[in-house]
Every structure is written in C-alpha cells, then in structure tokens.
Chains A and B, each alone.
Chain A
Amino acid sequence: MPLAVDIRKTFVSAERRFTLDVAFNATTQRVVLFGPSGAGKSLTLQAIAGLLRPDEGTIALHGNALFDSARHIDLKPQARKVAYLFQDYALFPHLNVRQNIGFGLQRGWLNARARHISAEVDYWLDALELRDVASNYPAQLSGGQKQRVALARALVARPQLLLLDEPFSALDSNLRQRMRAELSELQTRLDIPMVLITHDPDDVAAFGDQVVQITDGRVREHQAFSGYLRSAT
C-alpha cells in the first residue's frame, strides 16, 4: 500500500513531555500498528486522518501529499478520503442506522430524513445484514451491529484508506472472532488498504501482513509479520 508516514509532534503538559516520532512505509494492504496503550498509536492514526496536526514531517497516500510541513500542505480531514473507524464507533445518536450510514453521502446543511432511501445505503444494509435494524437508533443496537454500522458508514463514500482504532476492544471474545473474520473478508473483497491499531496479539495474527511496533511514541520494530509475536506471548 502506498502510504508513507514520517511525522513528529511534541506534547507538553505540566507533568510530562511526550514526543511522537513515527516513520513507516506501508508495503502491504494490511498494516497493523501494534503497541501498549499510551504509546501513540491513536495519535498516529489521527494524524493520518487529519484530526491531529503534526509539528513537522510528511504523510503521503498513493504519492499525493496529505500533509507536508516543508511545502505547507495540510489537507482538511474532509478532503483526505480517509475513513476512520473509531474505537467507540462514534455513531450519531440522533440518527437512525440508515441516516448514519448515508451521512457522508448527504450533501448540504441538513440531515437526510429518517425514511430517505438511497441505493448505496441499501447495498450496505444488505452486505452487512443490517436490513432488520435499518430504522433503529444506535442506542438500540448490539455491539456487533454498532460496529457494522460504523464500518458501513466509513466505507459507503469509497475511501482510499480505512483506519481502524482498536476495532474489536469493545466486543466480547466470541463476537470478536466473528467480526475479525467479517472484516477480513470485507477487506479482501473491497481490496481497500487498511491500517489497524491494536494491543491485542490476536489482531496482529489476523491482520498483520506488516507490523509496525510503537513504544513510547517511537517506532521500535518494523517488519513483515513472521510469527515472532506469537512466540513472544
């Protein structure tokens, strides 16, 4: 995958100073950023999505600069065509499943009406088996359904890249296995490049065609997955 990241950002608070210094070149369609919580994985993902502005460096996707401090390029998140799956899914509580999925398709200053029908939304409702809950609100969904809605919402606008922030941490272990298989199958079918962050070695085994290990804001190891994590745990 032609994603190249090379960024630095320093956070200073009264108690501590944290420097994020991450550089990696994604060479496969599935990349896992692996490391303990607080290591800077989410910050890296936010920088790729444009939700966090690095102090300096470059982020390029398919050869196009999303961010380049030297050339003063900093595309807004709206212009990056990068989908972000949030850890807690961040579904809009005031919109039903149909409206949530279609959110990025709808232009203008108003939300689509609750019964608005769109062929693309219908496609995803069927693809992820959400047809029965199409008019439900997020508070009425199970964890797995919420995740499917968040996935559909992220993918409906045909992004160039899918970012996933600890996608399975909120699910119980049975569901986790199933959703891993679903995501894997979906990624293969759409052939969309993805970057997944996790601290769970099982996620690394499932998705880590390439593993970037981050500790204390720095890239420690960067290599194709060769089973070393399995032996370490």
Chain B
Amino acid sequence: MQQAWIPLMLSLKVAGWATALNLVFGVAAGFGLSRWRSGARDVVDSLLTLPLVMPPTVLGYYLLVLLGRRGVIGAWLDRFDIQLVFTWQGAVIASTVVAFPLVLKSARAAFEAVDPQLERAARTLGVSETAVFFRVSLPLAARGILAGGLLAFARALGEFGATLMIAGNLPGRTQTLSVAVYAAVQAGDDNTANFLVIVTSVTCVVILLLAGRLVPQRTLLVPR
C-alpha cells in the first residue's frame, strides 16, 4: 500500500500544480493569440504547440540543458540556491511544458468563439478592458478552458519521458506513479507493478467521473 500511496500523492501534486500553472499561462497565451492581429501569429502558435508533437525525451533534454546547473536559467537560479533538476518542482515544470499546448489550444478556440459584439457592448457600458475580460470574455470561454484544463491534468498525470529526464527516479522524492510502474517492471517486481497499474487505472476512472460532474452536459449559457 505504502509503495503506491507515495507515488500516487506525488503524481497528483505534480499534475495539480502543472494544471494550475497552465490555467494561468495557457489562458493568458490563448487570449493573447486570439486577439493578436499579426502575420507572426501562426508562427508563434506553432512554436508554442511544439511540446505536443515533440518526443517527451527531447523536451526533457531541452529542459535539462536550460535548467541544469550549467544551463542558462539553471546557472542563474543556482545563485539563489534554487535547484530544479532531480526535484519534484522540476517534474512540475516538465509536466507543465508538456501539457501547455492542450490548454493554449482550447483557450484560444474558446476565446475566438466569444462574440466580439458582447465585448464591444461591455465597453460602451463604461466597463474597463480588464473588467471586460473577467466579466464577459472569461466566463463565456470558461467551458472550453475547463475542458482544456482537464485534458492537461490527465496529460500531466501520465507524464513520463520529460519527467524522467529532468526529475529522475528518486523513490519518495521524484518517483511519480508512471515512473514507479516502469521502475517496478525493470526490477522484475511484478506484484508491485500490478498493484501500481491497478491504482493508476482506478485513479484515472475516478478523475474522469469527477470531470463529468465538473463539466455538466447542459450548457453553461442557460444555467436553468
């Protein structure tokens, strides 16, 4: 039990943080891209979508190069005594990067589906641009964003490649559920592997059921 409980909690913690970060950055980037009128928009969108199509190990390598002690960002962080490699925070960054395009894509599509007339109506009613975003655009895009957030959580929970590259496989510290399954199989410990796989499957089913409750089938536009 203990050998499954710790990686399960770690996986949930990492996926939760990654989803929360993506709901901020992914939504901001999605809104920016949906309103940006420029020829460079498609190029930027493609670059930001790269994590979706690149092999996670390649992403993990990039992150290692950037965040390692001798990396550009890593060396700078090292001055403040912050290390990300081989920590659960490093796993959060890996999961965040991998799941980012899922939130970006759904947020952009959701914001583009908001009728611009409604935002203009809000402006003529004297409401500031920030308030227009929080009172009109965001609530009307919320359903699409929530769907993207759930996908991102699921993706982060299953993250393996990039996490292994940057956070490693330290039992109790950075060994997430998906990494623990791999480690157990490699060690020939079939009992642990079976148990972990069952725990993972049950967790995923529970999350899907919760997700179905969070996003009701009826449209949010007519709450009754």
Interfacial residues, chain A to chain B (CB-CB below 8 A): 49-51, 76-84, 86, 88, 90, 92-94, 103-104, 107-111, 137, 139-140, 153-154, 157
Contacts and interface: CB of A to CB of B under 8 A. Distances in A.
A51 B135 contact: no
Contact of A51 (B123, B126, B223, B224): B123
Interface of B: 115, 117-118, 120-128, 130-131, 134-136, 139-140, 220-224
Per DSSP, are chain A's interface residues mostly helix, strand or loop, or mixed? loop
B224 A137 contact: yes
B164 to A, nearest CB: 41
Nearest to B131: A109
Given A93-B140, A104-B126, 18 more contacts: A49-B124, A50-B123, A50-B124, A51-B120, A51-B123, A78-B124, A78-B128, A80-B124, A81-B126, A83-B125, A84-B120, A90-B121, A92-B122, A92-B136, A109-B130, A109-B135, A110-B134, A140-B222
Contacts of A78: 123-124, 126-128
B218 to A, nearest CB: 12
Given A110-B134, A111-B135, A139-B222, A104 B127 contact: yes
Nearest 9 pairs between A and B by C-beta?
A104-B125, A90-B121, A77-B123, A84-B124, A109-B134, A93-B221, A90-B117, A94-B139, A139-B222
Contacts of A107: 131
Nearest to A102: B125
B16 to A, nearest CB: 25
12 contacts: A49-B124, A77-B123, A78-B126, A83-B124, A84-B121, A86-B120, A93-B221, A104-B125, A107-B131, A109-B135, A139-B221, A154-B125
Nearest to B142: A94
Nearest to B119: A90
Nearest to A79: B126
Contacts of B122: 92, 103
B122 to A, nearest CB: 7
Per DSSP, are chain B's interface residues mostly helix, strand or loop, or mixed? helix
B48 to A, nearest CB: 26
Contacts of B118: 90, 92-93
Contacts of B127: 78, 103-104
Contacts of B120: 51, 77, 84, 86, 90
Given A83-B124, A157-B125, A157-B126, A137 B140 contact: no
A88 B139 contact: no
Contacts of A139: 221-222
A77 B136 CA distance: 16
B187 to A, nearest CB: 53
Contact of A153 (B125, B221, B222): B125
A77 B3 CA distance: 61
A81 B118 CA distance: 17
A27 B78 CA distance: 71
Contact of A137 (B117, B130, B222): B222
Contacts of B126: 78-79, 81, 104, 157
A192 B115 CA distance: 29
A90 B114 CA distance: 12
Nearest to B221: A93
Nearest to A163: B124
B150 to A, nearest CB: 20
Contacts of B123: 50-51, 76-78
